[in-house]
Amino acid sequence: MDNFIVSARKYRPTTFNSVVGQEHITATLKNAIRTNQVAQAFLFCGPRGVGKTTCARIMAKALNCENPTPDCEPCNECESCLAFNQSASFNVYELDAASKNSVDDMRALTEQVRIAPAGKVKYKIYIIDEVHMLSQAAFNAFLKTLEEPPAYAKFILATTEKHKILPTILSRCQVYDFKRIREADIVKHLQYVAKSEGVTAEEEALRIVAAKADGALRDALSIFDQLVSFTGNNITYQATIENLNVLDVDNYFKMVDFLCEDDATNALLLFDEILNKGFDAQNFISGLSSHFRNLLMAQNSNTLPLMEASESVCKRYAEQAHKIEKNLLVRSLDMTNQCDFNYSASNNKRLSVEICLLQMNANFVWIKQRGAQPAFVRQSREGR
């Protein structure tokens, strides 16, 4: 049996143009190479799984490429590129600061910096991942080398926690802030991976994966591999929500319909059914809050792009949104948000969610009838 390679490694970008969702970073790096204005040190910071280490590796490869493309991409064919791709380059060093974070490790690195690059290449490149893990003494030992390195030495630092980096280090680096990858970009990349692997995947299923990944492409690809193992080569929406323990959006549409129709009984029964399926009450109330937010966005065509959902689901949001007044949506959104905020402090967590549902139901009825505010709603507002 062949060794399985996870998608996050198999489809790791090898050129700037193949990096997903970080065009502002890759364009700047290519222009720096094109104009020969490459800084002595870079700091790549941002959330996990968004391409920091990947861009560092592509940058290292491009700087030493013997035959770069007109677009300043590495050719992946010259001796330097091939050596790098085979992890056999003598001029690119990767250091994991999470495990090698002592002052002795930094002193060993500074000793290496004194040695000129081997072969015909121009630079020795040092990639230090999770640089925020370095000790105070290690930072201080590294400071002088970072400030005045030899002309052939380039440093690329990567971190998920920029606030832990010493200001003296930050001031000596060009800082690049990586952003969370948009769900639409993740879905597009997952569709490419699925097509390459011969996997059939429903768009709604991939949107669930993208939402679960929370802006991290590496996490999305890991979830994708998990779903392929679960479903074979046919990833469906139903199988995805079952495997990832995600609450179906239909439950939220039903819940809002019950609240609109003054059917508090069925609303509470639906909530009980959701709990019996093993879903957490806080996840439900958080999802309901997101549902009200999407309904609010669906009421105006200008805010529709703020909803990250398929065209068919957007239509359902638009249909339900136009049945409810904007003020009621805002009040409901505020109630679910408060319930979510106070959830951990509640002794009876189920009751706190049920009270929230009953208050929303009372508000729906009050708005519909244009009568007096319910007493418990009025009292709660007066008590604030």
d(CA 219, CA 50): 9
E strand intervals along 3-80: 41-45
pLDDT at res. 379: 43
pLDDT at position 378 over 50: no
Same domain, 24 and 171: yes
Q: Which stretches of 215-353 are assigned E, i.e. beta strand? A: 234-235
- Whether 52 and 111 map to the same domain: the answer is yes
pLDDT band at 166; cut points 50, 70, 90: confident
Q: Which tens digit of pLDDT belongs to each residue from 262-306?
A: 888 888 999 998 888 888 888 888 888 988 898 888 888 777 777
On whether both 162 and 20 belong to a single domain, the answer is yes
Asked if 132 and 224 sit in the same domain, the reply is no
Which residue matches tokens 């998608």?
Answer: 7
Is residue 42 assigned to a domain? yes
Nearest alpha carbon to residue 333 among 360, 353, 308, 313: 360
Q: How far apart are CA 1 and CA 328, in angstroms?
A: 59
| Mean pLDDT across 58-78 | 85
In angstroms, rounded to a whole number, what is the distance separating the alpha carbons of residues 296 and 324?
9
Q: Of 145 and 367, which is predicted with more confidence?
A: 145
> Tens of pLDDT along 88-146?
788 888 888 888 878 888 888 888 888 887 777 788 888 988 888 888 888 888 888 88
Task: Write down the pLDDT at residue 376.
Answer: 40
**Can you give the pLDDT at residue 384?**
44
Whether residues 194 and 163 fall in one domain = no
Q: ∠ CA(356), CA(317), CA(301), 5° rounding?
A: 120
pLDDT per position as a tens digit, 190-239: 999 999 888 888 888 888 888 888 888 898 999 999 988 888 888 888 88
Give the amino acid at 309.
Answer: A
Same domain, 120 and 232: no
Instruction: Examine the pLDDT at 382 and tell me if it is beyond 50.
Output: no
In the chain, the percentage of residues whose pLDDT exceeds 70 is 94
Domain housing 296: 249-379
238 and 279 together in one domain? no
Q: Which residues pair with 94 in a beta bridge?
A: 127
CA distance 88 to 184: 36
Residue 61 CA to residue 69 CA, distance in Å, equals 12
The H or E element that residue 146 is part of is: helix 136-147
Domain boundary among 132, 157, 177: 177
- The CATH code of the domain that includes 197 is 1.10.8.60
- On the 0-12 / 13-18 / 19+ scale of CB atoms within 10 A, 302 is exposed
Question: pLDDT: is 364 or 131 the higher one?
Answer: 131
- Torsion angle of the four alpha carbons 220, 235, 282, 375, in this order, in degrees rounded to the nearest 10: 120
Mean pLDDT value across residues 355-366: 83
Residue found by looking up tokens 């809002």 in the block? 256
CATH code for the domain in which residue 281 is found: 1.20.272.10
Number of domains within the chain: 3
| 302 and 341 part of one domain | yes
- The residue among 243, 262, 278 that closes a domain is 243
Would 226 be classed as within a structural domain? yes
- Is residue 368 very low, low, confident or very high in pLDDT (cuts 50, 70, 90)? low
Per the listing, tokens 């600061």 go with 97
Q: How confident is the model at residue 1, as a pLDDT?
A: 42
87: tokens are: 């992890």
> What local confidence, expressed as pLDDT, does residue 370 receive?
62
Mean pLDDT, rounded, for 142-162: 86
Instruction: State the number of CA atoms in the 13 A half-sphere of 70 facing the CB.
Output: 0
**Residue 384 falls within a domain, yes or no?**
no
Residue 372, pLDDT above cutoff 60: no
**What is the per-residue pLDDT for 380?**
44
**What's the pLDDT band for 2 if we cut at 50, 70, 90?**
low
The answer to whether residues 73 and 16 touch, using CB atoms and an 8 Å cutoff, is yes
pLDDT, tens digit, for every residue of 307-353?
767 677 788 888 888 888 888 888 888 888 888 888 888 888 889 88
Give Cα 339 distance to the centre of its chain.
25
What gap in Å lies between CA 360 and CA 351, rounded to an integer?
A: 14
- Return d(Cα 153, Cα 91) in angstroms, integer: 10
Note whether 45 and 144 are same-domain residues. Answer: yes
CATH value at residue 74: 3.40.50.300
User: Quick one: 30 and 166 in the same domain?
Assistant: yes
Residue 190 contacts residue 218 (beta carbons within 8 Å): no
Do residue 276 and residue 322 come from a single domain? Answer: yes
Q: Are residues 83 and 97 in the same domain?
A: yes
Q: Show Cβ contacts of residue 85 under 8 Å, excluding neighbours closer than 6 positions.
A: 14, 61, 76
| C-alpha to C-alpha distance for 81 and 109, rounded to whole angstroms | 23
The CA distance from 140 to 79, in Å, is 36
Would you say residue 2 lies in a domain? no
Phi–psi pair at 95, nearest 5 degrees: -125, 130
